[in-house]
Structure 1
Amino acid sequence: MNALSRKTRLKRFIELVWNEGKLDAADGYLAGAYTVVHDPGDPWEGMTLDPAGFKDRVRLSRAAFPDQQFDVQEMLADGGGVAMTWLWAGTHVGDLPGFPATGKPIHMSGATIYFFDDADRLTGHWQITDRLGVYQQLQRNLTASR
């Protein structure tokens, strides 16, 4: 598959699985093993997940922010990967460890490189996000609600 097709495929995956929460759609995009190569602060960093494990990851990640949306900013393709920069937003309606739900919006930005196999299925990612910014927003919201 060419670079444009991989970018289109990745954007559709983000829309269906992460934005809309259609977990079963992941089956059409994932390889049998998906590795979270680098993602500091993510509990799955360094883990290799099967499709069921990946769906659990999405389910748990969306639990506190079920209305979350990734807004893809740019995509660049090279070799076997697609790099994507993104903006993320969601309403904090579910508890996180140390942070009860506040009903307030949270925003973050990041960049992710997604890896594909020869059949153009996703095999993993390398990611960096503004987790400090998220923590600061959660802390502010918690303090303001007291």
Structure 2
Amino acid sequence: MTASNSETLRRFIDAVWNKGELDAIEGFLAPAYAIRHDPGDPWDGKTLDAAGLRERIRISRAPFPDQRFTILNCFEDGDQVAIFWTWEATHQGDIPGFPASGKSIAMSGATIYSFEDGKIAGHWQVADRLGVMQQLAQR
């Protein structure tokens, strides 16, 4: 039995984003991964291969190695899966302008993932990155 796209996405979020199992990326991805809309993300508008996405996730996780996404809602429609999520992490590594602080940080967002032949092919996302920066700036 083939996994649904939403099941595949849940496994991807848990293994790759939450646990940092970057070598697992190839098993989840289509040949090209398009970041269609992700304001504030340096990769916004880019199309990546597995190595490029692995590097993006490595860099994104570095300051927050204990990060955890919690999927609040998940909706599947054809080749798209929408999730509403929360994210929590401890600021353990430097970000330009924000040296590691040990602060607990949280944000929320929504992401629509697209799939091709059961593989993740990209996303469109809105996330509260400003809220993260405000939390980091608090003394």
Same fold (TM > 0.5): yes
Q: What secondary structure, in the 3-state scheme, does the structure 1 residue paired with 2:32 have?
A: strand
The whole-number CA distance in structure 2 between the counterparts of 1:34 and 1:135 is 27
Q: What is the identity, as a one-letter code, of the residue corresponding to 1:14?
A: I
Unaligned runs of 5+ in 2: none
Runs of 4+ in structure 1 displaced over 6 angstroms?
none
Unaligned runs of 5+ in 1: none
1:49-99: CA deviation from partner (whole Å, max 9, x where unpaired): 010000000000000000000001000011210000000000000000100
Q: What secondary structure, in the 3-state scheme, does the structure 1 residue paired with 2:23 have?
A: helix
The whole-number CA distance in structure 1 between the counterparts of 2:73 and 2:57 is 22
Query: For residue 88 of structure 2, what is the aligned residue in structure 1?
Result: 89
Q: What is the identity, as a one-letter code, of the residue corresponding to 2:68?
A: Q
Is residue 2:105 matched to residue 1:131?
no
The whole-number CA distance in structure 2 between the counterparts of 1:33 and 1:26 is 12
1:93-117: CA deviation from partner (whole Å, max 9, x where unpaired): 0000100000111000000000000
Query: Share of identical aligned residues, percent?
Result: 57
Q: What is the identity, as a one-letter code, of the residue corresponding to 2:57?
A: V
Offset at residue 6 of structure 1 (A): 1.1
Query: For residue 53 of structure 1, what is the aligned residue in structure 2?
Result: 52
8 Å CA contact 2:5, 2:79 repeated in 1: no
The TM-score, its normalising length taken from structure 1, stands at 0.92
How does 1:74-113 map onto structure 2 within 5 Å? 74-113=73-112
Is residue 2:5 matched to residue 1:6?
yes
RMSD: 1.3
Q: What secondary structure, in the 3-state scheme, does the structure 1 residue paired with 2:31 have?
A: strand
Q: What secondary structure, in the 3-state scheme, does the structure 1 residue paired with 2:137 have?
A: helix
Q: What is the identity, as a one-letter code, of the residue corresponding to 2:102?
A: G
